[in-house]
Amino acid sequence: MKNFLKPVLLFLLVFTIYSCNKNESIDGGGTSGETNQEFEFGAQVNRDFMGVVKDQSNVAISNATINIGTKTTQTDANGVFIIKDATVQERFAYIEVSKIGYLKGLKTVTPTQDVSQVNLVLLTENIQPLPSNNQIQLINGAKVTFNGDFEDASGNAYSGVVNYSLNHIDPASPTIANEMPGMLLAKTAADDFEMLQTYGMLHVSLTDASGNALQIAAGSTAEIRMPIPSVLSGAAPATIPLWSFDEAVGYWVEDGFATKTGSEYVGTVSHFSWWNCDINFPTEVLCLTVEDANGNPLANVNIDLSFPGNPFPGTGVSNALGEICGVVPTNQTITYTAYDDCGNTLSTNTIGPFTNATTWINETITIPNSPALQTITGNFLDCNGSPVIDGYVELSYGGYQTIQYIENGVFEISTLICNGSTSGFVEGLDYNNSQSTGVIPFIFSQPVSNIGTIISCNTIDEYITYQVDNGPAVTTQQIMISAYNSGTTGFQVLADSETPLEEVNFEIDTTAIGSYSLTDVSAPLLVISEIDLNTNTTTTQNFEFIISNFGNPTEYIDVTFSGEFTDINGVTRSITGTIHVRRDT
């Protein structure tokens, strides 16, 4: 869910780049010379998926229906969906997304053993009556002329009102990878599977007055015209294969050709779904590992790959192991550029060319002066105080957002912090129960920011939680005082409940946002009755208090704390805690 968007590849290198386990990626797609081997879809497996569905204005689409295999669900208010244990193939998963008012989203991915994350953009369906001249056109010049009759879904002749919706995807679109159907994997007329470079895609839907699907009648045709982007016009071949997207199987199929006429491609088709003007090419399979100068893997690094004559670089994002895998063209020197989340260039260099490889090609990219790697951790509980087993946590800072799937009540998000950001926000969502923690601010604490325990429950307005060692989180909602003390310029938070006894008393002599040790402020106090902890005593060690928010009255006070103490038996214990309460005065 990045707000920073870059053009995606689509020139000779439809770099279907994805984070993956090397044993789970594309086996085929062309490996050497001019001989292409059939795509190996692999055996049936069960995999987990999480995705985000948005419209072309980057607005989340709720209540969209998601189908993967035999599993179905709907997106939540944030456009997020989660599907677990969907039966797919090892190297091929087909995702269908439906919502009234939009074209059907059709996405294919190579699933990973971990949760596969998918981003989709649904295109608006603009339904209009077919003009009397049977010609339809978009402002960019994409045009369709119908040269015959129509039929209904059963193949019966139809002569009533015909409505249409026309959409075109420009290969220069920065969101094309999330808009287009499939992943530009195609079956040629010779029954080989290859990768494609697109010069444009066009979709037409036909319906009657009641919204029932129509099609071009058997024996009839339509002429399609697609504009050639100016940056591709010099390299555009005189004729180019046409490919239609087979919605039943989830990949493109070669079906005729188009001819270059001036600045557009012109072809004749006999049916409608998605049509694509593409050239196909042999490829090599490449896996990159992104590391810092010390050899540590770097997650969430954006990588562009390009080569001479390619105006649209392929993009990908490294996974938790620093890996990105995909296909690249044979016999080309490839330039990579690494970016952080904010779009700042971290490194650029060349790799390749790669020729006639029979196995995976492995390359390492070193980022010599990478920003600080930040890890955000915490616990995530539901309304009953139990670990959330089907949810997600969204991290945002400086205009950047990412989400992480949660299945055991624990989250750990690693990312490079850029543009000098020192604080961020987290929100936890219990997907199955439609509950939220609300947006909680925090301050980065290198190298790990422990958010403590957050509770996803719409009816819980404020709480204090703490956890000793790896024991269960203890939570109290009985907040008695959360007040500003004008006499000492500090504040106090007191929670007390009788059954069970859960007393927490926190006082600090400042309201300024920041991180504090025991010696930074006068007389910080933390008393928790169950363990008799008082931070004024010598039994506490390495304590840190982080005030990330101090709102006005009725707004939130947010504090996290962590450190060690010696219990009554002389054993050193660790403790972490979260204070999320509304200020009284």
pLDDT tens for each residue of 156-184: 999 999 999 999 999 888 788 889 999 88
Most confident of 136-145, 335-344, 507-516: 136-145
DSSP structure class, residue 176: H
Output the pLDDT for position 253: 95
Q: Are 62 and 55 in contact (CB under 8 A)?
A: no
pLDDT at 151 over 50: yes
Name the residue with tokens 């992104």: 290
Q: For residues 40 and 14, what is the distance between their CA atoms, to the nearest angstrom?
A: 18
- Sequence-separated (6 or more) residues with CB below 8 Å from residue 345: 337, 338, 339
Output the pLDDT for position 456: 92
Closest CA to 493 of 469, 528, 458: 528
Output the pLDDT for position 573: 87
Closest CA to 493 of 585, 377, 386, 381: 585
Q: For residues 347 and 51, what is the distance between their CA atoms, to the nearest angstrom?
A: 29
pLDDT at 332 over 60: yes
Closest CA to 492 of 477, 473, 509: 509
Q: Span 438-447, mean pLDDT? A: 88
Output the pLDDT for position 27: 29
Q: Are 413 and 402 in contact (CB under 8 A)?
A: yes
Q: For residues 242 and 201, what is the distance between their CA atoms, to the nearest angstrom?
A: 10
pLDDT at 214 over 70: yes
Q: For residues 384 and 366, what is the distance between their CA atoms, to the nearest angstrom?
A: 45
Output the pLDDT for position 538: 67
Q: Span 554-568, mean pLDDT? A: 88
Residue 409 to residues 49, 174, 379, 430: CA-CA distances in angstroms?
18, 35, 6, 10
- Of all residues in the chain, the percent with pLDDT exceeding 70 is 87
Residue 375 to residues 116, 352, 403, 408, 423: CA-CA distances in angstroms?
20, 33, 13, 18, 13
Peptide bond into 447 cis (omega under 30): yes
Q: For residues 179 and 188, what is the distance between their CA atoms, to the nearest angstrom?
A: 23
DSSP structure class, residue 62: -
Residue 414 in 3-state DSSP?
strand
pLDDT at 9 over 50: no
Q: For residues 406 and 427, what is the distance between their CA atoms, to the nearest angstrom?
A: 12
| Burial class of residue 326 (count of CB atoms within 10 Å of its CB; 0-12, 13-18, 19+) | buried
* Residue bearing the bigger pLDDT, 437 or 316: 437
Going by pLDDT thresholds of 50, 70 and 90, the confidence category of residue 152 is very high
Residue 448: how many CB atoms within 10 A of its CB? 14
pTM metric for this prediction: 0.80
Q: Are 348 and 337 in contact (CB under 8 A)?
A: yes
- Of all residues in the chain, the percent with pLDDT exceeding 90 is 41
Per-residue tokens: 585: 């005065």
Going by pLDDT thresholds of 50, 70 and 90, the confidence category of residue 500 is low
pLDDT at 301 over 50: yes
Buried b (16+ CB within 10 A) or exposed e, 143-181: bbebeeebbeeeeeebeeebbbbbbbbbbbbebbbbbbb
Beta bridge partners of 78: none
In the chain, how many H helices and how many E strands?
Answer: 1, 47
Report the chain's mean pLDDT, rounded to a whole number.
83
Q: For residues 103 and 205, what is the distance between their CA atoms, to the nearest angstrom?
A: 9
Output the pLDDT for position 166: 97
pLDDT at 29 over 60: no
* Residue bearing the bigger pLDDT, 483 or 301: 301
Output the pLDDT for position 8: 31
Per-residue tokens: 407: 């299945």
Going by pLDDT thresholds of 50, 70 and 90, the confidence category of residue 486 is low
For 372-389, the pLDDT digits (tens) are: 778 899 999 998 889 998
Straight-line distance from the first to the last Cα atom of the chain, in angstroms, rounded to the nearest whole number: 38
Give the ranges where 161-276 is alpha helix by DSSP (H). 176-179
pLDDT at 284 over 80: no
Q: Which helix (H) or strand (E) holds 93?
A: strand 93-98
Q: Span 260-279, mean pLDDT? A: 94
Q: For residues 326 and 177, what is the distance between their CA atoms, to the nearest angstrom?
A: 14
Beta strands in 360-489 (DSSP E): 361-367, 373-381, 391-397, 400-406, 410-416, 423-430, 435-436, 440-443, 448-455, 463-468, 474-476, 479-485
For 58-113, the pLDDT digits (tens) are: 999 999 999 999 999 999 999 999 999 999 988 789 999 999 999 999 998 878 77
Q: Span 263-275, mean pLDDT? A: 95
Q: Which helix (H) or strand (E) holds 288?
A: strand 283-292
**Phi-psi bin for 78: left (phi > 0), alpha (psi -120 to 50), beta?**
alpha
Residue 309 to residues 13, 117, 353, 411: CA-CA distances in angstroms?
11, 31, 15, 43
Backbone angles phi, psi at 24, to 5 degrees: -120, 10
Going by pLDDT thresholds of 50, 70 and 90, the confidence category of residue 359 is low
Output the pLDDT for position 274: 96
Q: For residues 259 and 16, what is the distance between their CA atoms, to the nearest angstrom?
A: 27
Output the pLDDT for position 401: 82
pLDDT at 219 over 90: yes
| Amino acid code (one letter) for 373 | L
Cα four-point dihedral sign 257, 260, 264, 266? negative
Q: Span 431-438, mean pLDDT? A: 91
For 108-135, the pLDDT digits (tens) are: 887 877 788 888 999 999 999 999 999 9
pLDDT at 257 over 50: yes
Per-residue tokens: 260: 């270059």
For 36-55, the pLDDT digits (tens) are: 334 577 789 999 999 999 99
